[in-house]
Structure 1
Amino acid sequence: MGIIYFISALVILILAALLISILGQGLPHVSWHFLISHSSSFESGGGISDQLFNSFYLLIVSMIISLPIALGSAIYLNEFADPKSEFIAVFRSAIEVLSSLPSVVVGLFGFLLFVLKFHMGFSVLSGAIALTFFNLPLLTRSIENSLAAIPNLQREAGLALGLSKWETTEKVIFPAAVPSIVTGVVLAAGRVFGEAAALLFTSG
Protein backbone atom coordinates (compact mmCIF):
# COMPACT_ATOMS: atom_id res chain seq x y z
CA MET A 1 0.00 0.00 0.00
CA GLY A 2 2.87 2.36 0.77
CA ILE A 3 4.32 1.76 -2.71
CA ILE A 4 0.99 2.75 -4.29
CA TYR A 5 0.87 5.96 -2.27
CA PHE A 6 4.48 6.72 -3.20
CA ILE A 7 3.85 6.21 -6.94
CA SER A 8 0.67 8.32 -6.78
CA ALA A 9 2.51 11.14 -4.99
CA LEU A 10 5.35 10.94 -7.51
CA VAL A 11 2.94 11.25 -10.46
CA ILE A 12 1.21 14.22 -8.82
CA LEU A 13 4.56 15.91 -8.19
CA ILE A 14 5.64 15.41 -11.82
CA LEU A 15 2.36 16.83 -13.13
CA ALA A 16 2.58 19.77 -10.72
CA ALA A 17 6.16 20.48 -11.80
CA LEU A 18 5.17 20.42 -15.48
CA LEU A 19 2.20 22.71 -14.83
CA ILE A 20 4.28 25.19 -12.84
CA SER A 21 6.97 25.18 -15.53
CA ILE A 22 4.47 25.79 -18.35
CA LEU A 23 2.64 28.54 -16.49
CA GLY A 24 5.88 30.15 -15.33
CA GLN A 25 7.27 30.38 -18.84
CA GLY A 26 3.99 31.13 -20.63
CA LEU A 27 2.03 33.55 -18.45
CA PRO A 28 4.52 36.44 -18.72
CA HIS A 29 4.00 36.43 -22.50
CA VAL A 30 0.19 36.39 -22.38
CA SER A 31 -1.41 39.79 -22.85
CA TRP A 32 -4.67 41.25 -24.09
CA HIS A 33 -2.97 42.22 -27.36
CA PHE A 34 -1.82 38.61 -27.80
CA LEU A 35 -5.39 37.34 -27.39
CA ILE A 36 -7.16 39.79 -29.71
CA SER A 37 -4.61 40.46 -32.46
CA HIS A 38 -4.46 38.48 -35.70
CA SER A 39 -1.75 35.94 -36.38
CA SER A 40 0.89 36.64 -38.98
CA SER A 41 2.78 34.19 -41.16
CA PHE A 42 5.41 36.72 -42.20
CA GLU A 43 6.56 38.29 -38.95
CA SER A 44 6.73 37.48 -35.25
CA GLY A 45 4.55 39.09 -32.64
CA GLY A 46 1.15 38.02 -33.96
CA GLY A 47 -1.75 36.97 -31.76
CA ILE A 48 -4.12 34.02 -31.56
CA SER A 49 -7.51 35.67 -32.14
CA ASP A 50 -8.07 33.71 -35.38
CA GLN A 51 -7.30 30.40 -33.69
CA LEU A 52 -9.54 31.21 -30.73
CA PHE A 53 -12.41 32.20 -33.01
CA ASN A 54 -12.09 29.02 -35.10
CA SER A 55 -11.91 26.84 -31.99
CA PHE A 56 -15.05 28.33 -30.46
CA TYR A 57 -16.83 28.32 -33.83
CA LEU A 58 -16.07 24.61 -34.27
CA LEU A 59 -17.20 23.89 -30.72
CA ILE A 60 -20.49 25.77 -31.02
CA VAL A 61 -21.46 24.35 -34.42
CA SER A 62 -20.54 20.81 -33.39
CA MET A 63 -22.54 21.04 -30.14
CA ILE A 64 -25.55 22.57 -31.91
CA ILE A 65 -25.63 19.60 -34.28
CA SER A 66 -24.78 16.80 -31.86
CA LEU A 67 -26.58 17.80 -28.65
CA PRO A 68 -30.22 17.44 -29.88
CA ILE A 69 -29.41 14.12 -31.59
CA ALA A 70 -27.58 12.77 -28.54
CA LEU A 71 -30.32 13.94 -26.18
CA GLY A 72 -33.08 12.33 -28.23
CA SER A 73 -31.13 9.10 -28.66
CA ALA A 74 -30.30 8.85 -24.96
CA ILE A 75 -33.90 9.48 -23.87
CA TYR A 76 -35.17 6.86 -26.29
CA LEU A 77 -32.56 4.26 -25.31
CA ASN A 78 -33.02 4.69 -21.57
CA GLU A 79 -36.72 5.43 -21.23
CA PHE A 80 -38.60 3.94 -24.19
CA ALA A 81 -36.50 1.30 -25.94
CA ASP A 82 -36.96 -2.41 -25.32
CA PRO A 83 -33.64 -3.64 -23.85
CA LYS A 84 -34.25 -7.10 -25.34
CA SER A 85 -34.67 -5.78 -28.88
CA GLU A 86 -32.04 -6.87 -31.41
CA PHE A 87 -32.17 -3.42 -33.04
CA ILE A 88 -31.30 -1.76 -29.74
CA ALA A 89 -28.43 -4.20 -29.22
CA VAL A 90 -27.04 -3.36 -32.67
CA PHE A 91 -27.57 0.35 -32.00
CA ARG A 92 -25.64 0.19 -28.73
CA SER A 93 -22.85 -1.78 -30.41
CA ALA A 94 -22.62 0.90 -33.10
CA ILE A 95 -22.29 3.58 -30.41
CA GLU A 96 -19.49 1.62 -28.73
CA VAL A 97 -17.65 1.16 -32.02
CA LEU A 98 -17.96 4.85 -32.94
CA SER A 99 -16.78 5.96 -29.51
CA SER A 100 -13.63 3.85 -29.84
CA LEU A 101 -12.61 5.17 -33.27
CA PRO A 102 -9.34 7.14 -33.36
CA SER A 103 -9.71 10.77 -34.31
CA VAL A 104 -7.50 10.19 -37.38
CA VAL A 105 -10.05 7.73 -38.75
CA VAL A 106 -12.86 10.22 -38.16
CA GLY A 107 -10.78 12.87 -39.92
CA LEU A 108 -10.20 10.64 -42.95
CA PHE A 109 -13.91 9.85 -43.06
CA GLY A 110 -14.75 13.56 -42.97
CA PHE A 111 -12.15 14.24 -45.67
CA LEU A 112 -13.55 11.62 -48.05
CA LEU A 113 -17.22 12.43 -47.41
CA PHE A 114 -17.47 16.17 -46.80
CA VAL A 115 -14.35 17.59 -48.43
CA LEU A 116 -14.28 15.40 -51.56
CA LYS A 117 -17.71 13.81 -52.03
CA PHE A 118 -19.87 16.79 -51.01
CA HIS A 119 -17.34 19.32 -52.39
CA MET A 120 -17.38 21.37 -49.18
CA GLY A 121 -13.63 21.83 -49.33
CA PHE A 122 -11.33 22.48 -46.40
CA SER A 123 -13.54 24.61 -44.19
CA VAL A 124 -14.52 25.14 -40.59
CA LEU A 125 -17.96 23.69 -41.35
CA SER A 126 -16.46 20.44 -42.67
CA GLY A 127 -14.42 20.16 -39.49
CA ALA A 128 -17.43 20.86 -37.28
CA ILE A 129 -19.52 18.15 -38.95
CA ALA A 130 -16.65 15.66 -38.71
CA LEU A 131 -16.28 16.47 -35.01
CA THR A 132 -20.01 15.80 -34.61
CA PHE A 133 -19.44 12.16 -35.57
CA PHE A 134 -16.50 12.10 -33.18
CA ASN A 135 -18.47 13.64 -30.31
CA LEU A 136 -21.92 12.08 -30.75
CA PRO A 137 -21.27 8.60 -29.21
CA LEU A 138 -19.59 10.03 -26.11
CA LEU A 139 -22.36 12.57 -25.59
CA THR A 140 -25.10 9.96 -26.07
CA ARG A 141 -23.57 7.57 -23.55
CA SER A 142 -23.01 10.36 -21.05
CA ILE A 143 -26.62 11.58 -21.20
CA GLU A 144 -27.95 8.02 -21.07
CA ASN A 145 -25.92 7.29 -17.94
CA SER A 146 -27.24 10.49 -16.36
CA LEU A 147 -30.83 9.40 -17.01
CA ALA A 148 -30.14 5.86 -15.82
CA ALA A 149 -28.80 7.22 -12.52
CA ILE A 150 -32.26 8.56 -11.60
CA PRO A 151 -34.02 6.05 -9.28
CA ASN A 152 -36.94 4.11 -10.75
CA LEU A 153 -38.97 5.23 -7.74
CA GLN A 154 -39.33 8.65 -9.35
CA ARG A 155 -40.60 7.10 -12.57
CA GLU A 156 -43.12 4.99 -10.66
CA ALA A 157 -44.25 8.04 -8.67
CA GLY A 158 -44.87 10.01 -11.86
CA LEU A 159 -46.86 7.18 -13.42
CA ALA A 160 -48.82 6.71 -10.19
CA LEU A 161 -49.86 10.38 -10.33
CA GLY A 162 -51.39 9.83 -13.75
CA LEU A 163 -48.58 11.19 -15.90
CA SER A 164 -47.84 9.52 -19.19
CA LYS A 165 -44.45 7.97 -19.93
CA TRP A 166 -43.35 11.04 -21.89
CA GLU A 167 -44.68 13.50 -19.29
CA THR A 168 -42.82 11.60 -16.56
CA THR A 169 -39.62 11.78 -18.59
CA GLU A 170 -40.08 15.45 -19.44
CA LYS A 171 -41.24 16.80 -16.07
CA VAL A 172 -39.64 14.43 -13.56
CA ILE A 173 -36.67 12.48 -14.93
CA PHE A 174 -35.06 15.05 -17.21
CA PRO A 175 -35.03 17.95 -14.68
CA ALA A 176 -33.49 15.66 -12.07
CA ALA A 177 -30.77 14.57 -14.51
CA VAL A 178 -29.87 18.08 -15.75
CA PRO A 179 -26.82 18.57 -13.45
CA SER A 180 -25.26 15.29 -14.62
CA ILE A 181 -26.14 16.06 -18.23
CA VAL A 182 -24.46 19.47 -17.98
CA THR A 183 -21.32 17.80 -16.63
CA GLY A 184 -21.31 15.36 -19.54
CA VAL A 185 -21.81 18.18 -22.04
CA VAL A 186 -18.88 20.13 -20.56
CA LEU A 187 -16.61 17.06 -20.78
CA ALA A 188 -17.67 16.43 -24.38
CA ALA A 189 -17.11 20.10 -25.23
CA GLY A 190 -13.61 19.92 -23.77
CA ARG A 191 -12.87 16.89 -25.95
CA VAL A 192 -14.07 18.75 -29.06
CA PHE A 193 -12.20 21.93 -28.11
CA GLY A 194 -8.91 20.07 -27.80
CA GLU A 195 -9.25 17.94 -30.93
CA ALA A 196 -6.69 18.48 -33.67
CA ALA A 197 -6.11 15.30 -35.69
CA ALA A 198 -9.56 15.20 -37.30
CA LEU A 199 -9.34 18.87 -38.23
CA LEU A 200 -6.10 18.39 -40.15
CA PHE A 201 -8.04 16.42 -42.79
CA THR A 202 -11.18 18.57 -42.88
CA SER A 203 -10.26 22.15 -41.99
CA GLY A 204 -6.67 22.24 -43.16
Structure 2
Amino acid sequence: MTRSEKMRTYKAHPLSLVFSILTKLAVAITIGVFFLIVGYVLIKGIPYLKPSLFSPEYTTDNCSMLPAIVNTLEMLVISLLIAAPLGIFCAIYLVEYAKKGNKFVSLIRLTTETLSGIPSIIYGLFGNMFFVLALKWKLSVISGACTLAIMVLPLIIRSTEEALKSVDDSFREGSYGLGAGKLRTIFRIVLPPSISGILSGVILAMGRIFGETAALIYTAGTIAKYASPMDSGRTLSVHMYALSDNGLNMNEASATAVILLLAVLLLNGLASFIAKKLAKGGN
Protein backbone atom coordinates (compact mmCIF):
# COMPACT_ATOMS: atom_id res chain seq x y z
CA MET A 1 0.00 0.00 0.00
CA THR A 2 1.42 3.36 -1.05
CA ARG A 3 1.57 6.44 1.18
CA SER A 4 -1.32 8.13 -0.64
CA GLU A 5 -3.47 5.02 -0.32
CA LYS A 6 -2.72 4.89 3.40
CA MET A 7 -3.73 8.54 3.80
CA ARG A 8 -7.03 7.94 2.00
CA THR A 9 -7.69 4.95 4.22
CA TYR A 10 -6.95 6.95 7.36
CA LYS A 11 -9.26 9.79 6.20
CA ALA A 12 -12.06 7.31 5.53
CA HIS A 13 -11.45 5.47 8.81
CA PRO A 14 -9.91 7.82 11.43
CA LEU A 15 -9.79 5.01 14.02
CA SER A 16 -7.32 3.15 11.79
CA LEU A 17 -4.89 6.05 12.19
CA VAL A 18 -5.38 6.03 15.97
CA PHE A 19 -4.74 2.29 16.23
CA SER A 20 -1.74 2.57 13.92
CA ILE A 21 -0.21 5.25 16.15
CA LEU A 22 -0.98 3.26 19.31
CA THR A 23 0.59 0.06 17.98
CA LYS A 24 3.74 1.88 16.86
CA LEU A 25 3.90 3.64 20.22
CA ALA A 26 3.55 0.32 22.04
CA VAL A 27 6.40 -1.17 19.98
CA ALA A 28 8.60 1.84 20.69
CA ILE A 29 7.89 1.70 24.44
CA THR A 30 8.57 -2.05 24.57
CA ILE A 31 11.89 -1.69 22.76
CA GLY A 32 12.79 1.32 24.89
CA VAL A 33 12.07 -0.53 28.16
CA PHE A 34 14.15 -3.48 26.99
CA PHE A 35 17.18 -1.34 26.20
CA LEU A 36 16.67 0.65 29.41
CA ILE A 37 16.77 -2.50 31.56
CA VAL A 38 19.70 -4.03 29.68
CA GLY A 39 21.61 -0.75 29.70
CA TYR A 40 21.02 -0.19 33.42
CA VAL A 41 22.20 -3.70 34.34
CA LEU A 42 25.32 -3.38 32.17
CA ILE A 43 26.24 0.08 33.45
CA LYS A 44 25.77 -0.94 37.09
CA GLY A 45 27.52 -4.31 36.82
CA ILE A 46 30.32 -4.19 34.25
CA PRO A 47 32.66 -1.96 36.36
CA TYR A 48 32.64 -4.62 39.11
CA LEU A 49 33.44 -7.63 36.95
CA LYS A 50 36.82 -8.98 38.02
CA PRO A 51 38.73 -12.28 37.74
CA SER A 52 38.12 -13.20 41.39
CA LEU A 53 34.40 -13.56 40.64
CA PHE A 54 35.30 -16.55 38.46
CA SER A 55 37.56 -18.29 40.95
CA PRO A 56 37.21 -22.10 41.06
CA GLU A 57 35.93 -22.08 44.66
CA TYR A 58 33.58 -19.70 46.45
CA THR A 59 34.74 -17.81 49.55
CA THR A 60 33.32 -14.85 51.40
CA ASP A 61 36.23 -12.78 50.07
CA ASN A 62 35.98 -13.51 46.33
CA CYS A 63 32.17 -14.19 46.12
CA SER A 64 32.91 -16.43 43.12
CA MET A 65 29.92 -17.14 40.87
CA LEU A 66 31.55 -20.04 38.99
CA PRO A 67 29.93 -22.77 41.14
CA ALA A 68 26.57 -21.04 40.66
CA ILE A 69 27.06 -20.94 36.88
CA VAL A 70 27.76 -24.67 36.77
CA ASN A 71 24.76 -25.39 39.02
CA THR A 72 22.53 -23.21 36.84
CA LEU A 73 23.46 -25.12 33.68
CA GLU A 74 22.91 -28.40 35.51
CA MET A 75 19.52 -27.21 36.72
CA LEU A 76 18.59 -26.05 33.21
CA VAL A 77 19.49 -29.37 31.57
CA ILE A 78 17.68 -31.54 34.13
CA SER A 79 14.56 -29.34 34.13
CA LEU A 80 14.28 -29.33 30.33
CA LEU A 81 14.94 -33.07 30.10
CA ILE A 82 11.88 -33.55 32.30
CA ALA A 83 9.58 -30.79 31.08
CA ALA A 84 10.26 -30.63 27.32
CA PRO A 85 9.34 -34.24 26.40
CA LEU A 86 6.30 -34.22 28.72
CA GLY A 87 5.06 -30.88 27.42
CA ILE A 88 5.61 -31.64 23.73
CA PHE A 89 4.01 -35.11 23.84
CA CYS A 90 1.10 -33.80 25.91
CA ALA A 91 0.48 -31.11 23.28
CA ILE A 92 0.70 -33.69 20.49
CA TYR A 93 -1.97 -35.75 22.24
CA LEU A 94 -4.24 -32.73 22.73
CA VAL A 95 -3.98 -31.61 19.09
CA GLU A 96 -3.54 -34.82 17.12
CA TYR A 97 -5.18 -37.62 19.09
CA ALA A 98 -7.84 -36.19 21.41
CA LYS A 99 -11.33 -35.84 19.99
CA LYS A 100 -12.72 -32.33 19.65
CA GLY A 101 -15.09 -31.44 22.47
CA ASN A 102 -13.55 -34.04 24.77
CA LYS A 103 -14.20 -33.06 28.40
CA PHE A 104 -10.88 -34.58 29.47
CA VAL A 105 -9.06 -32.29 27.03
CA SER A 106 -10.93 -29.29 28.41
CA LEU A 107 -9.88 -30.33 31.90
CA ILE A 108 -6.21 -30.56 30.84
CA ARG A 109 -6.33 -27.12 29.24
CA LEU A 110 -7.98 -25.63 32.32
CA THR A 111 -5.34 -27.24 34.51
CA THR A 112 -2.42 -25.93 32.45
CA GLU A 113 -3.86 -22.41 32.37
CA THR A 114 -4.35 -22.53 36.14
CA LEU A 115 -0.81 -23.78 36.74
CA SER A 116 0.67 -21.00 34.60
CA GLY A 117 -0.88 -18.38 36.88
CA ILE A 118 0.33 -19.78 40.22
CA PRO A 119 3.04 -17.66 41.94
CA SER A 120 6.49 -19.24 42.04
CA ILE A 121 6.58 -19.17 45.84
CA ILE A 122 3.64 -21.62 45.87
CA TYR A 123 5.60 -23.95 43.61
CA GLY A 124 8.52 -23.63 46.01
CA LEU A 125 6.39 -24.58 49.02
CA PHE A 126 4.91 -27.53 47.10
CA GLY A 127 8.37 -28.68 46.01
CA ASN A 128 9.61 -28.40 49.59
CA MET A 129 6.73 -30.46 50.99
CA PHE A 130 6.69 -33.10 48.22
CA PHE A 131 10.20 -33.52 46.81
CA VAL A 132 12.24 -32.38 49.82
CA LEU A 133 10.18 -33.81 52.71
CA ALA A 134 7.79 -36.49 51.35
CA LEU A 135 10.24 -38.10 48.89
CA LYS A 136 13.17 -37.30 51.23
CA TRP A 137 15.34 -35.87 48.45
CA LYS A 138 16.29 -33.07 50.85
CA LEU A 139 17.42 -29.68 49.52
CA SER A 140 19.01 -30.71 46.22
CA VAL A 141 19.39 -29.84 42.55
CA ILE A 142 16.98 -32.62 41.56
CA SER A 143 14.29 -31.26 43.90
CA GLY A 144 14.69 -27.81 42.38
CA ALA A 145 14.77 -29.16 38.83
CA CYS A 146 11.56 -31.16 39.28
CA THR A 147 9.86 -28.10 40.77
CA LEU A 148 10.98 -25.93 37.85
CA ALA A 149 9.87 -28.61 35.38
CA ILE A 150 6.34 -28.39 36.80
CA MET A 151 6.49 -24.60 36.61
CA VAL A 152 7.46 -24.43 32.92
CA LEU A 153 5.34 -27.40 31.78
CA PRO A 154 2.19 -25.30 31.06
CA LEU A 155 4.26 -22.85 29.01
CA ILE A 156 5.73 -25.60 26.83
CA ILE A 157 2.35 -27.30 26.40
CA ARG A 158 0.56 -24.14 25.30
CA SER A 159 3.27 -22.98 22.90
CA THR A 160 3.59 -26.45 21.34
CA GLU A 161 -0.18 -26.74 21.04
CA GLU A 162 -0.43 -23.42 19.20
CA ALA A 163 2.49 -24.35 16.93
CA LEU A 164 0.83 -27.63 15.96
CA LYS A 165 -2.50 -25.92 15.33
CA SER A 166 -0.81 -23.50 12.94
CA VAL A 167 -0.11 -26.38 10.53
CA ASP A 168 -2.96 -26.49 7.99
CA ASP A 169 -5.14 -29.61 8.07
CA SER A 170 -4.65 -30.04 4.33
CA PHE A 171 -1.09 -31.24 5.02
CA ARG A 172 -2.43 -33.97 7.28
CA GLU A 173 -5.16 -34.93 4.84
CA GLY A 174 -2.67 -35.13 1.97
CA SER A 175 -0.40 -37.37 4.02
CA TYR A 176 -3.26 -39.68 4.96
CA GLY A 177 -4.37 -39.74 1.31
CA LEU A 178 -0.93 -41.00 0.29
CA GLY A 179 -1.23 -43.86 2.77
CA ALA A 180 0.90 -42.52 5.65
CA GLY A 181 -0.10 -43.48 9.16
CA LYS A 182 -0.86 -41.19 12.08
CA LEU A 183 2.57 -41.40 13.69
CA ARG A 184 4.45 -40.88 10.42
CA THR A 185 2.26 -37.91 9.54
CA ILE A 186 2.95 -36.27 12.89
CA PHE A 187 6.72 -36.70 12.80
CA ARG A 188 7.31 -36.13 9.07
CA ILE A 189 4.59 -33.65 8.12
CA VAL A 190 3.34 -31.79 11.21
CA LEU A 191 6.37 -31.38 13.47
CA PRO A 192 8.97 -29.99 10.98
CA PRO A 193 7.05 -26.77 10.11
CA SER A 194 6.02 -26.26 13.75
CA ILE A 195 9.48 -26.77 15.26
CA SER A 196 10.14 -23.02 15.40
CA GLY A 197 7.04 -22.40 17.53
CA ILE A 198 7.86 -25.35 19.77
CA LEU A 199 11.37 -24.09 20.40
CA SER A 200 10.00 -20.62 21.14
CA GLY A 201 8.17 -22.13 24.11
CA VAL A 202 11.33 -23.95 25.19
CA ILE A 203 13.27 -20.67 24.96
CA LEU A 204 10.75 -18.93 27.21
CA ALA A 205 10.98 -21.87 29.62
CA MET A 206 14.77 -21.52 29.67
CA GLY A 207 14.45 -17.86 30.59
CA ARG A 208 12.13 -18.66 33.48
CA ILE A 209 14.44 -21.43 34.74
CA PHE A 210 17.42 -19.08 34.64
CA GLY A 211 15.62 -16.29 36.48
CA GLU A 212 13.78 -18.28 39.13
CA THR A 213 14.76 -17.63 42.74
CA ALA A 214 11.91 -18.07 45.22
CA ALA A 215 11.09 -21.67 44.33
CA LEU A 216 14.75 -22.74 44.41
CA ILE A 217 15.43 -21.31 47.85
CA TYR A 218 12.90 -23.82 49.26
CA THR A 219 13.96 -26.77 47.09
CA ALA A 220 17.60 -26.50 45.97
CA GLY A 221 19.01 -24.44 48.83
CA THR A 222 21.59 -21.66 48.87
CA ILE A 223 24.90 -23.46 49.48
CA ALA A 224 27.66 -21.92 47.34
CA LYS A 225 29.42 -25.04 46.03
CA TYR A 226 29.45 -27.36 43.05
CA ALA A 227 26.48 -29.68 43.47
CA SER A 228 25.64 -33.11 42.13
CA PRO A 229 21.95 -33.77 41.37
CA MET A 230 21.35 -35.02 44.92
CA ASP A 231 23.29 -32.22 46.63
CA SER A 232 22.21 -28.73 47.60
CA GLY A 233 23.55 -25.84 45.55
CA ARG A 234 22.65 -22.30 44.51
CA THR A 235 22.00 -21.09 40.99
CA LEU A 236 23.04 -17.71 39.56
CA SER A 237 19.75 -16.03 40.46
CA VAL A 238 19.89 -17.38 44.02
CA HIS A 239 23.55 -16.38 44.22
CA MET A 240 22.65 -12.82 43.21
CA TYR A 241 19.82 -12.77 45.77
CA ALA A 242 22.12 -14.03 48.53
CA LEU A 243 24.74 -11.38 47.76
CA SER A 244 22.23 -8.54 47.69
CA ASP A 245 20.33 -9.81 50.74
CA ASN A 246 23.20 -9.25 53.15
CA GLY A 247 23.69 -5.70 51.85
CA LEU A 248 27.49 -6.02 51.90
CA ASN A 249 28.08 -7.35 48.39
CA MET A 250 25.86 -5.18 46.20
CA ASN A 251 28.68 -4.59 43.70
CA GLU A 252 29.23 -8.33 43.28
CA ALA A 253 25.47 -8.81 42.95
CA SER A 254 25.39 -6.25 40.13
CA ALA A 255 28.23 -8.06 38.37
CA THR A 256 26.35 -11.35 38.75
CA ALA A 257 23.29 -9.73 37.16
CA VAL A 258 25.40 -8.90 34.09
CA ILE A 259 26.52 -12.52 33.69
CA LEU A 260 22.97 -13.77 34.23
CA LEU A 261 21.62 -11.36 31.61
CA LEU A 262 24.32 -12.25 29.09
CA ALA A 263 23.80 -15.97 29.66
CA VAL A 264 20.05 -15.67 29.01
CA LEU A 265 20.60 -13.58 25.87
CA LEU A 266 23.25 -16.00 24.60
CA LEU A 267 21.14 -19.10 25.16
CA ASN A 268 18.06 -17.45 23.64
CA GLY A 269 20.06 -16.41 20.59
CA LEU A 270 21.53 -19.88 20.22
CA ALA A 271 18.13 -21.54 20.54
CA SER A 272 16.60 -19.11 18.02
CA PHE A 273 19.42 -19.87 15.57
CA ILE A 274 18.85 -23.62 15.96
CA ALA A 275 15.08 -23.13 15.51
CA LYS A 276 15.62 -21.25 12.23
CA LYS A 277 18.00 -23.93 10.95
CA LEU A 278 15.55 -26.69 11.83
CA ALA A 279 12.67 -24.78 10.26
CA LYS A 280 14.61 -24.39 7.00
CA GLY A 281 15.48 -28.07 7.11
CA GLY A 282 11.82 -28.91 7.63
CA ASN A 283 10.83 -26.88 4.61
- Assess same fold via TM > 0.5: yes
Structure 1 residue ranges without an equivalent (≥5): none
1:114-148: CA deviations, max 9, x gaps? Answer: 11111111111110011111111111111111111
The separation in 2 between residues aligned to 1:37 and 1:103, in whole angstroms, is 31
1:92 counterpart = 2:109: yes
Q: Structure 1 residue 131 and structure 2 residue 148: aligned?
A: yes
* Separation (CA, whole Å) in 2 of partners of 1:128 and 1:187: 16
1:62 lines up with 2:79 in the alignment? yes
Instruction: Identify if the C-alpha distance between structure 1 residues 94 and 20 changes in structure 2 by more than 3 Å, giving closer, same or farther.
Output: closer
> Counterpart in 1 of 2:236?
none
Cα distance in structure 1, aligned partners of 2:31 and 2:219: 37
1:35-66 superposed Cα distances (whole Å, 9 cap, x missing partner): 3533223x2x3320111111111111000011
Alpha-carbon spacing, 1:162–1:20, altered in 2? closer, same or farther (3 Å): same
Superposition TM-score, scaled by structure 1 size: 0.89
**1:187/1:36 Cα in 2 relative to 1: closer, same or farther (>3 Å)?**
farther
Structure number, greater radius of gyration: 2
Correspondent of 2:139 among 122, 125, 134: 122
2-structure distance, mates of 1:121, 1:185: 28
Which of 42, 53, 58 is the aligned partner of 1:23? Answer: 42
Does residue 1:196 correspond to 2:196, yes or no? no
What runs of 5+ residues in structure 2 fail to find an aligned partner? 1-17, 222-283
User: Could you tell me which residue of structure 2 aligns to residue 48 of structure 1?
Assistant: 65
Counterpart CA distance in 2 for 1:49 and 1:161 is 55
Q: Measured at CA, do residues 46 and 10 of structure 1 come closer, stay the same or move farther in structure 2, by a change above 3 Å?
A: same
**Residue 187 (structure 1) aligned with residue 234 (structure 2):** no
1:35 partnered with 2:54: yes
Q: 1:86 to 1:21 in 2, by over 3 A?
A: closer
User: Which 4+ runs in 1 deviate beyond 4 A?
Assistant: 1-15
- Give the SS at the match of 2:167: coil
Relative distance call for 1:13 and 1:177 in structure 2 (3 A) is closer
Q: Whole-Å Cα distance in 2 between the matches of residues 76 and 11 of structure 1?
A: 35
Q: Alignment identity in percent?
A: 33
1:39 to 1:180, Cα distance in 2 relative to 1, 3 A: same
- C-alpha distance in structure 2 between counterparts of 1:17 and 1:198, whole Å: 27
Equivalent in the alignment of 1:177:
194
- 2-structure distance, mates of 1:185, 1:161: 33
How much has 1:203 moved relative to structure 2?
1.2
How big is the alpha-carbon RMSD for the aligned residues of Structure 1 and Structure 2?
A: 2.2
Q: How many residues align?
A: 202
Secondary structure of the residue aligned to 2:154 is helix
Q: 1:166 aligns with which of 161, 168, 183?
A: 183
Distance change in 2, residues 1:7/1:113 (3 Å) = closer
**Distance between the aligned counterparts of 2:183 and 2:34, measured in 1?**
47
TM-score of the pair, normalised by structure 2: 0.65
How far is 1:70 from its partner? 0.9
- Separation of aligned partners in 2, 1:29 and 1:10: 29
Task: Give 1:3 deviation, angstroms.
Answer: 8.7
Partner amino acid for 1:172? I
Structure 2: how far apart are the matches of 1:172 and 1:131? Answer: 31
Name 1:148's counterpart in structure 2.
165
